[in-house]
Chain A
Amino acid sequence: MARNPELEAILQARYELETCEPAQKTERRAKLDALLEAAVAQSGTPGMTPRALIEITAEAYQEFKLARKKAERARLSRLR
């Protein structure tokens, strides 16, 4: 499903943070934080925080993760 590009960027950055090597966490975190801060600034919603955005996008992120894992597993099984 085509979605908002800002949302896609946040979901992608979260996934990259979760799946990266430990030594890459700082940089990946900074990337996600920048996207979240920008989305909060654009939201115009009083009281909105980066962590609230994480909560609001929870279901979208779980769908995103499921799709990515399925795609990765399909790619791996084609290689075998």
Chain B
Amino acid sequence: MKRSLRTCESRNGRCNLRCMRNATLEPEAIESPRWQAVGLVLDQNARDLRARRYGCVQEVVSWFKGIDLFREAEFERMVARKPSPLDKRYHKTWLAALIAEGERLLTEIRRAGGLPRNPAGIRLSDVEATVEELCDTQAEWHGSLDTARRAQLFKRLFHGPQS
């Protein structure tokens, strides 16, 4: 598996987790159809973006569709059931890839002087907000606090057990 690690620098500097850019797994080798579908779509999106095949707006729309697919897989494999270690691994990998693609899109959009008006009404700030949302998800599932510390802080801040 080829990986290039970099630090994710989000808009407000709160996402300090390391993420993978151009994370490449072999989607065909993934046994879960849900995760495999996400991998195939993200791979195709990454290829199209590198080739500048469809233009900025279409790339942004494809990225949002990839996120929708990722959220469906996340719900089925991580929320509706207890995730396996492999589920967590795929989740972390595709999430990192989505964050990296989002950052790359932001760079392209800024370099182009903004996102052209589009039928979906998507703005640069919507892409920024969504990268932040993905960084939240990274903290939620792959953060650095251990379970006991989380529970302790939760109880202190919200006056009760988490579940």
Contact = CB atoms under 8 A, between A and B. Distances in A.
A25 B133 contact: yes
Given A23-B123, A69-B75, A56 B133 contact: no
Contacts of B15: 51
A49 B122 CA distance: 28
B71 interface: yes
Given A51-B14, A55-B139, A63 B163 contact: yes
A29 B75 CA distance: 21
Contacts, number: 99
B126 A23 contact: yes
A51 B37 CA distance: 29
Contacts of B160: 3-4
Nearest to A43: B157
Given A56-B157, A62-B79, A22 B139 contact: no
Interface residues of A, number: 36
Contacts of A24: 126
A26 B123 contact: yes
B135 to A, nearest CB: 7
Contacts of A65: 75, 79
Interface stretch (B20-28, B85-93, B104-112, B140-148): B140-148
A35 interface: no
A38 interface: no
Interface string B76-116: 00111000000000000000000000000000000000000
20 contacts: A3-B158, A4-B158, A4-B159, A4-B160, A7-B158, A22-B64, A24-B126, A25-B127, A26-B126, A29-B133, A52-B139, A55-B150, A56-B150, A56-B157, A59-B162, A59-B163, A62-B78, A65-B75, A69-B75, A69-B80
Interface of B: 14-15, 60-61, 64, 71, 75, 78-80, 120-123, 125-130, 132-133, 135-136, 139-141, 143-145, 150, 153-154, 156-160, 162-163
